[in-house]
With several copies, the nearest count.
Chain A
Amino acid sequence: MIGVAVTVRVQRGDFDLAAEVAALSAGRHDIGAVVTFCGLCRDEAGTLSALELEHYPGMAEAEITRICNEAVARFDLQAATAVHRYGKILPGENIVLVVTASPHRQAAFDGANFIMDFLKTAAPFWKKEHAADGSAGGWVSAKDEDDSARDRWSE
């Protein structure tokens, strides 16, 4: 795993997909596949005006780094980047970015998929919904299907 670059950032502002991919692959001639995942804020058919993302500073970065390192070790990854935003996020805006690089396409797909499944269930972030009609939004509940998605990696 010499030369494996794991980049993790937790930030309020947006990220630049192309810049993150370029940073991870620039000058390399040994990468065969780059997979990116962007998670975006949906307006839930117009009922949602914004998401408010709270996080645990310090642990958020540490936990995402642990997840990325595990993905690098488990799959044949040459690099992994994860950027997660916090604060108020509007419909159509980005929430999270994961980028993986590998010599082989399935490893790049699996690595990004694995990182997202663990990021959803283990990275200390919490979403609060703001309703479009001004009524009190609430904290988003954790989904059983997210736990199932995570658990398939230990089957």
Chain B
Amino acid sequence: MASVNLVYFAWVRERIGRAEETLELPESVVTAGDLLAYLKTLGEEYEAALEHENVIRVAINQEHVDHGEKIAGAREIALFPPMTGG
């Protein structure tokens, strides 16, 4: 089991109901996409937040990554909706 800090923003944060947490991930979670699928098994709040997986953006150590990116070595993984700044 690997321990990772997860941070959530905007409506992902609101739906999950917390801004950050530290989780132990099973070895089967290899990619960012695996992580999304895993989180959805943890409860309704995660299911609601991550329902449309394809729109969820992932950043590892504060850099954008594709869902196919491996998460090994990640200190911090962020999940959030498409950005609307500017």
- A: residues with CB less than 8 A from B are 39, 53-56, 58-59, 62-63, 84, 95-96, 105, 116, 119-128, 139-142, 146
B86 and A126 contact, CB distance less than 8 A: no
Is B7 touching A56 in the complex (CB atoms < 8 A)? yes
Cross-chain contact of A39 among B63, B64, B86 (Cβ < 8 A): B86
The answer to whether residues A124 and B86 also contact, given A54-B10, A56-B78, A58-B62 and a CB cut-off of 8 A, is no
Q: How far is the CB of B59 from chain A (nearest CB, A)?
A: 6
Any A CB within 8 A of the CB of B83:
yes
Interface string of B15-59 (1 = CB under 8 A from A): 000000000000000000000000000000000000000000001
- Interface residues of chain B, those whose CB is within 8 Å of chain A, are 7, 9-11, 13, 59, 62-64, 78, 80-86
> Of the candidates A39, A59, A125, A141, which one forms a contact with B62 in the assembled complex, judged by CB atoms under 8 Å apart?
A59
**Pairwise interchain contact B83-A142, C-beta atoms closer than 8 A:** yes
Query: In the complex the two chains form, is A54's CB within 8 Å of B9's CB?
Result: yes
Contacts of B62 in A (CB 8 A): 56, 58-59, 62-63
Alpha-carbon separation in the docked complex, A55 to B7 (Å): 12
Known: A56-B59, A125-B85. 8 other contacts (CB 8 A): A39-B86, A56-B9, A59-B78, A122-B83, A126-B85, A127-B84, A142-B84, A146-B86
Whether A53 touches B81, Cβ cut-off 8 Å, given contacts A59-B59, A59-B62, A126-B10, is no
